[in-house]
Amino acid sequence: MKRFSAIREFSKILSESDVAIFSGKEMCKEAYQYDRPGYFYMDDSFGMSVSFALGIALCTDKRVFVFVGEGDLLRELAVLGQVAVSKCKNMFVVVLDNGGYQQAGNFPNIFDGFLSKKGVFYNMGCLVHDFTTNLKNKHLVEVKAAVERIRGPMVILVEVEKGFKKGLINIKSKSTTRTKKLIKFVNNNDIKSSLYTPPVWLASPSQEIKSINIGEITGGND
């Protein structure tokens, strides 16, 4: 699957109440085609997006998804330890792995040389979910169902093809304008979190169930 296709599918799956942060010039342009109030674009930074996203996640109960290339992530790999220790159930790092430094001419990086990519993230203390096969085979219903119920801190792996969507418009807004837009969205308490909360009877199966409220069975949002 091409990266812009993966971003398109995630845009369909994410809730309108989610924060999505994109890193890298070309990735930001691909995501900008599906712009929402909760989208933020870091097109002039490298190796900072996960740290930035963690800061946002610590200040809100809204879910925060940061989309980053594996080459970009390698620059701040140690921050994943902080992500894990934070215990932020609303923090998700989506790694779009194309096997190289795309903006530098697709030179290979060391990510493919890891004995186990998942193992690196597990050892850092993060949960890991690989959606590569699901997205490649267009099992979007399954992906949507999973994304609606995942809990962080989690790393989501998606292997994508090299290359980027050409002919897309540049993001015209200034970084200060984008920042104000994000702050306004995060601070808007009328936009409730879409973070999944397990029903009481499911979260505590060892306890005796005397009565079940229909609202608890359907789950509901925070």
Domains, the chain: 3-186 (3.40.50.970), 197-222 (no CATH)
More confident residue, 146 or 74: 146
Residue 11, class by beta-carbon neighbours within 10 Å (0-12 exposed, 13-18 middle, 19+ buried)? middle
pLDDT in tens, 168-218: 778 888 888 999 999 999 999 899 898 877 666 544 444 444 444 444 433
Lowest-pLDDT range of 60-74, 76-90, 151-165? 151-165
Residue 99 DSSP one-character state: S
pTM of the model: 0.83
Six token digits for residue 95: 């790694």
Q: How many residues does the chain have?
A: 222
